[in-house]
Amino acid sequence: MALVGELGFGSGTWMHSADPTEAEQQFVNSIEQWRESVGLENMVLLGHSLGGYLATSYAIQYPSRVSHLVLVDPWGFPERSQSQTEASSHKEVAKRPTPPRWVMAVVSVLSHFNPLAVIRAAGPWGPGLINRFRLDFQRRYEDLFDDDTVTQYIYHCNAQSPSGEVGFRAMSEGLGWAKRPMLQRVHLLPPKMPLTILYGAQSWVSSSSGEDVVLIRNQENTKVKLINHAAHHVYADQPHLFNEEVENICNTVD
């Protein structure tokens, strides 16, 4: 099984393209280069959020390398023109919470600067900012750590040169919409490729896009599942349920 780790985040390789197509391709190329380097013929490919968008793009370009595509609360699927009125026609969407304040803050900054510039500019006060604005990280891992390990990890992953953010900014517009929405291309996935989309039932990412994917492609090979009592970070909010779902998927692959 392979997890998509985005190029240019943390200690990842530098990327610099401001063109959305080129930026996306750089991310996809990095996945393929990694696959070649470790010698995998094919894999269960899982991507979360932006990683879900990139995993789908990779699977479209390299379908023979993906035995099962797993998307977790994927970003970048709906079209920006899709109005809130249309979205609210889905009863499930109407019950979903609005994006949390930190999401709105990040996407607001995103329109002018790289989203994590404030953390880098804060220098030694960066971890303190994360503690103040992302208390949810501490709560998610409080059973594992009773100190600032998680805060320090998040800080040092994002205190490097902002190459991954440059790529994300190139691919997004407005309040985090994708310039090249994946719903416009998901039909290019092979109909027989198994696809599972996992959403947090309380996530600010609407599962309505997953329902659209089911209608677009082969329904027999496309499944959408909600993980109860989980938000956007499904794997951290409900690790046991999440791991069980992923393990079951892996067990279906020969």
What is the pLDDT at residue 11? 46
Interval 29-75: pLDDT, tens: 999 999 999 999 999 999 999 999 999 999 999 999 999 999 999 99
Domain ranges of the chain: 2-97+175-251
Contact call for residues 229 and 202 (beta carbons, < 8 A): yes
Give the fold, CATH level 3, of 2-97+175-251: Rossmann fold (3.40.50)
How many CB atoms within 10 Å of residue 98?
8
Q: Which residues contact 34 (CB under 8 A, 6 or more apart)?
A: 2
> Among candidates 30, 50, 64, which has minimal Cα distance to 182?
50
For the entire predicted model, the pTM comes to 0.74
User: Cα(228)–Cα(217) distance, rounded to whole angstroms?
Assistant: 25
